[in-house]
A and B are shown apart, each in its own frame.
Chain A
Amino acid sequence: MTNVSIIGVGQTKVKEHWDTSLRHLAWYAIEAALDDAHTTDIDAVFVGNMLGGELSKQNHLGALVADFAGLRGVEAIRIEAADASGGAAFRQAVLAVESGLVQTALVVGVEKMTEEMGAPATAALSTALDADYETIHGLTLAGMGALLMRRYMHEYGVDVSDFAGFSVNAHANGALNPLAMYRNRLKPERFAAAPQVAEPVSLFDMAPGGDGAAAVIVTRHERALDMVPQPVRVAGSALATDTLALHDRKDVLWLAAAERSAKQAMIQAGISPEDVDLFELHDSFTVMAALSLEACGFAARGEGWRLARDGEIGRNGRIPVSTFGGLKARGNPAGATGVYQIVEVALQLRGQAGDCQVPDARIGMAQNLGGSGATAVTHILRVD
């Protein structure tokens, strides 16, 4: 158990924000989080962002965002770990407060993905992979997901349609989330007929990129108790790494970093998988959802897909996942995604999830993966 608690959360809708800049998106989420925490007393800012340099031609986001949010002068830095940037930034805030050197830290995940479309945007996202040995051959993130999915299907004898349950569940929950990018329901029979992105990964397997920002404010727990009625405790926090390239892994179908970070976070929290009331996992591709469930101990090896098929991941199921739509329906604003996950788990534990509410949620887990799972950040939050 850490001595860190969440006192404020904020988020924007995920969509194509044509009229909103990177700095404005960040500010809208920060403003909402400051309002939620009833404070403007921030000692450090951690910005989770993957593509500012690639797509907005803007690095140096720590100082930019702090200044624009009215926090000029405050310590601020950008954290980059591909699409795990948001989770990694939250982890840095937890470390800062836990160390005692920072009293109150603000995390904002922000991504402005629609500054470029098509091939340049795909190339920017592909920088999560190994440039010299993967992307030089034309591999994309979707291609990476496809290599995993094809091998998974081959080794475990499953079909494309066996992955449908993940996307159907995500869209069913996204339909109830006013901030989700896609609020349409998905018919299972439509799943296998979706246009291919990187066969066998289709549009319905792959989470859509979108613009968005989410923010979280953390402080020491005893202080949090005086500041807000419902602080959400960070019970476990861990980040682990693996090889960037799939070809460097001895066991391609095992997300070793996801397993390692989940185990460490659960040990800190003093819980096991059956204690988790909901799990915001990294469903960048349906196969990543299956592999994450397996690596974190919610399913045996090769069995993760069964949880989706058997309806165990719904809001009333054994392990609810993607409760606000997940990356698939809420949308995947790359470096902001990990902070959205933390906001969503916090709202569930406060009982403020609206139509997306999981009944009696007290312990929630969020896992943010970078690229192939080369970075895995796991957080466990709880309320008493």
Chain B
Amino acid sequence: MEVSRHWRLQTQRYSLVGETCDTCGVKLFPPRDVCLECEAPAKELYTFTGVGEIFSYTTIYEAPAGFEHTTPYMIALIKLEEGPLVTAQLTDVDQEEVYVGMPVEMVTRKLRTEGEEGVIIYGYKFRPAVETAVQ
């Protein structure tokens, strides 16, 4: 069981809480306390909107342990509207519909389970932005 490892990341996983740099204003996700851009301390919390577009994507056929029963699944690099890239699974979408530049939004989903007795790990995934889906 890896309860504390996942518990300590809950605000990031459930709410996309990152950080902002006081010095240059760059937004950081995942949070890392030191700005990627100017290397100044960046500890002020910032909640991302969860809106972005697909920067790159793949469909995984050979999965690691813990994911072997969910293949094939899609993983993307998402370019958030505030700037950073985030790695996450795509959900609620057919493989053929996905393209670089596709507008997407964050949703909360089950990431994986750790067997019958273990914790169920929830977190962010991304789906096609709702206004796009309606069109």
Which residues of A does B touch, CB under 8 Å? 118-120, 122-123, 126, 132-140, 142-143, 146-148, 150-151, 154, 195-201, 245-250, 252
Contact present for A137 and B88 (CB under 8 Å): yes
Assembled-state Cα–Cα distance A147/B88 (Å): 12
Contact present for B87 and A137 (CB under 8 Å): yes
Assembled-state Cα–Cα distance A132/B121 (Å): 12
Contact present for A201 and B84 (CB under 8 Å): no
Assembled-state Cα–Cα distance A148/B76 (Å): 11
Q: Which of B9, B57, B63, B112 contacts A132 (CB 8 A)?
A: B9
Contact present for B56 and A138 (CB under 8 Å): no
Assembled-state Cα–Cα distance A9/B61 (Å): 38
Q: How far is the CB of B114 from chain A (nearest CB, A)?
A: 12
Q: Does B55 contact A (CB under 8 A)?
A: yes
Do A136 and B111 contact each other (CB < 8 Å), given the known contacts A143-B58, A246-B77, A247-B85? yes
Q: How far is the CB of B67 from chain A (nearest CB, A)?
A: 4
Extra pairs beyond A137-B89, A150-B100, A151-B77 (13, CB < 8 Å): A119-B65, A120-B65, A123-B64, A132-B5, A134-B87, A136-B121, A138-B63, A138-B111, A146-B58, A198-B62, A247-B84, A250-B37, A252-B55
Q: Which of B5, B60, B88, B111 contacts A198 (CB 8 A)?
A: B60
Report 22 cross-chain contacts, Cβ distance below 8 Å, ordered by A residue. Answer: A122-B63, A122-B65, A123-B66, A134-B87, A136-B121, A137-B111, A137-B123, A138-B64, A138-B75, A138-B89, A138-B112, A140-B62, A142-B60, A143-B75, A147-B76, A150-B57, A198-B58, A198-B62, A199-B58, A246-B77, A246-B87, A249-B85
Q: How far is the CB of A13 from chain B (nearest CB, A)?
A: 25
Contact present for A135 and B84 (CB under 8 Å): no
Do A140 and B100 contact each other (CB < 8 Å), given the known contacts A147-B77, A248-B36? no
Contact present for B75 and A139 (CB under 8 Å): yes
Chain B residues with Cβ below 8 Å from A120 are 65
Contact present for A246 and B85 (CB under 8 Å): yes
Q: Does B59 contact A (CB under 8 A)?
A: yes
Contact present for A133 and B75 (CB under 8 Å): no
Contact present for B86 and A247 (CB under 8 Å): yes
CB nearest to A155 among chain B residues: B100
Q: Which of A134, A136, A196 contacts B61 (CB 8 A)?
A: A196
Q: Which of B36, B37, B64 contacts A135 (CB 8 A)?
A: B64
Chain A residues with Cβ below 8 Å from B75 are 137-139, 143, 147
Q: Which of B65, B84, B85 contacts A123 (CB 8 A)?
A: B65
Q: How far is the CB of A53 from chain B (nearest CB, A)?
A: 15
Chain A residues with Cβ below 8 Å from B73 are 138
Chain A residues with Cβ below 8 Å from B32 are 248
Contact present for A138 and B36 (CB under 8 Å): no
Per-position 1/0 for B99-116, Cβ under 8 A of A: 010000000000110000
Q: How far is the CB of A253 from chain B (nearest CB, A)?
A: 10
Q: Does B39 contact A (CB under 8 A)?
A: no
Assembled-state Cα–Cα distance A150/B99 (Å): 10
Q: Does B82 contact A (CB under 8 A)?
A: no
Chain A residues with Cβ below 8 Å from B59 are 196, 198-199
Contact present for A119 and B87 (CB under 8 Å): no
Contact present for A119 and B58 (CB under 8 Å): no
Do A252 and B85 contact each other (CB < 8 Å), given the known contacts A138-B70, A147-B56, A150-B57? yes
Q: Does B68 contact A (CB under 8 A)?
A: yes
CB nearest to A140 among chain B residues: B64
Contact present for B56 and A154 (CB under 8 Å): yes
Contact present for A201 and B58 (CB under 8 Å): yes
Chain B residues with Cβ below 8 Å from A140 are 60, 62-64
Q: How far is the CB of B24 from chain A (nearest CB, A)?
A: 13
CB nearest to B37 among chain A residues: A250
Per-position 1/0 for B30-69, Cβ under 8 A of A: 1010001100000000000000000111111111111110
